[in-house]
Structure 1
Amino acid sequence: MIPPKEAIEKAILQVSDKVKERIQQFKNLKQKGITTFDFKPFLDVQPYQADIFSEACFCILTANFKAATGIKIQAEVGIEGFKNYPLEKLYQIIQSHGHRFAMQRAERIVALRDLKEFLENIVKEKDGKKAREKLVEKVNGYGYKEASHFLRNVGFDDVAIIDRHISRFLFESGLVKPRKTITKKVYLECEEALEKICQDLNLTQSELDLYIFYIKTGKVLK
């Protein structure tokens, strides 16, 4: 296996332009409240707009599910659909993409509508780790990974998304002892290991996540 630092440096040479482009799309959400995502050439989806609320819904969709399919659902539902579609219509769209928990996720998205103002205020926070605690406490369907995912996607640079790709990368690299379950303690241990890599390579957590995801999947998504 290629050592982790060497693998990341290779990925930087290959896709730094795409990573910078994606980071700017995230920053637009934080600064302007709206962005346009373009995932070509990694995914055959036409560019589409997302706002803060639709991004929060996307992160509900992708819990234990593929990011690529979550992107396709987000593109189809659209900004207004997440805010206004009735439960049954949301369910039908999510189910049509093969989501295992289509009704559960549709219900959580409808419930999330009551927290739109809360989400908009969270984006104004300065400290991503403090914002994450508030999200985990408040949002049904958000654990540490989902809360970190949302925060990264709305422009925060200081939280890590410990999903199966990232945890496997850390375990295989010997940077963290392999675990069967990602508890809060393990999550924070993995995040600390990633922070050390960030320091060594002068990267933010958000950039590093995209590079590791690319190493594991060959795609720069979100």
Structure 2
Amino acid sequence: MEIFKVEKATLSSVDDLKAYHAHIRPFVLQRLEEFRETWERGDEAVFEELVFCILTAGASALMGLRGVEALRPVLWSATAEEIAQRIHFHLYPAARAQYIVAVREVVRNELGGRLKAWIESWRGRDTRRDACVQKFKGIGYKEASHFLRNISFRGYAILDKHILRSLHAFGVIDSDRPPSTRNRYLAIEQRYLTFAHQVGIDPDELDLTLWASRTGMIVK
């Protein structure tokens, strides 16, 4: 996957935000289209995205990408020990390896490999995300939102540190501390969605825009 590099930006006003969004929007739309294509590629691509989100949690998107590249040839066959060796550069190789093996066994044995069908069986947006949190070890509300967005389910807030800091800077939330409960996550998400509506930017585009303004990258 190509990493789109853009200039960082200090967004001091809504006008700054709108101008920055307009400037980088072609890259944002291309990334969102790639998320749709991931879903269309099938169950293995969706599972790989789930692994990416497990590796990203508590680390970074770039580390998640590096981990997936290292694991792709053996993702369905490696033991936890082999996975940990391949992602030795990760902050938590052993723990993430255990999560990946546990999730792989759920997908293979409980879901019969039909990950897409299982995801589609949950009709409500909150119900679908709750199901992912409950079913997949190593996935909380942030990464469940991240996973679903990355396979083309729209309208979730991915409340990582960059988004929380941006929301705090715009006065949308009182603190940039990560939400510690489901109810707190949903409350901040609602504020995020309201803010997106107020500024006239699609919520999924807003996420990538705010993230890019602080990192200089559009990843996923």
Q: Same fold (TM over 0.5)?
A: yes
Task: Give the counterpart letter for 1:212 in structure 2.
Answer: L
Structure 1 residues 189 and 3: alpha-carbon distance in aligned structure 2, compared to 1, 3 A threshold: farther
Distance in 1 between residues matched to 2:153 and 2:41, nearest whole Å: 14
Question: Which range moved further: 212-221 or 85-94?
Answer: 85-94
Q: Match for 2:80 among 87, 91, 114?
A: 87
Q: Match for 2:71 among 74, 77, 80?
A: 77
TM-score (norm 1): 0.83
CA RMSD of aligned residues (A): 2.0
SS in 2 for 1:214: helix
Structure 1, unpaired ranges of 5+: 35-49
Matching residue of 2:32 = 23
Matching residue of 1:187 = 185
Distance in 2 between residues matched to 1:14 and 1:122, nearest whole Å: 38
Percent identity reads 29
Q: Match for 2:126 among 120, 129, 147?
A: 129
Q: Deviation of residue 61 (structure 1)?
A: 0.5
Structure 1 residues 93 and 202: alpha-carbon distance in aligned structure 2, compared to 1, 3 A threshold: same
Q: Deviation of residue 176 (structure 1)?
A: 0.5
**Matched length:** 204
Task: Give the counterpart letter for 2:71 in structure 1.
Answer: V
Q: Match for 2:209 among 205, 208, 211?
A: 211
The answer on 1:105 being equivalent to 2:96 is yes
Q: Match for 1:64 among 58, 61, 71?
A: 58
Which stretches of structure 1, 4 residues or longer, exceed 4 Å deviation after superposition? none
Structure 2, unpaired ranges of 5+: 1-9
Matching residue of 2:195 = 197
TM-score (norm 2): 0.84
Structure 1 residues 103 and 135: alpha-carbon distance in aligned structure 2, compared to 1, 3 A threshold: same
Q: Deviation of residue 166 (structure 1)?
A: 0.7
Do 1:128 and 1:151's aligned partners in 2 also have CA atoms closer than 8 Å?
no
Distance in 2 between residues matched to 1:21 and 1:32, nearest whole Å: 16
Q: Deviation of residue 92 (structure 1)?
A: 1.1
Q: Deviation of residue 189 (structure 1)?
A: 2.2
Query: Looking at both structures, which has the greater relative contact order when contacts are Cα pairs under 8 Å and sequence separation is at least 6?
Result: 2
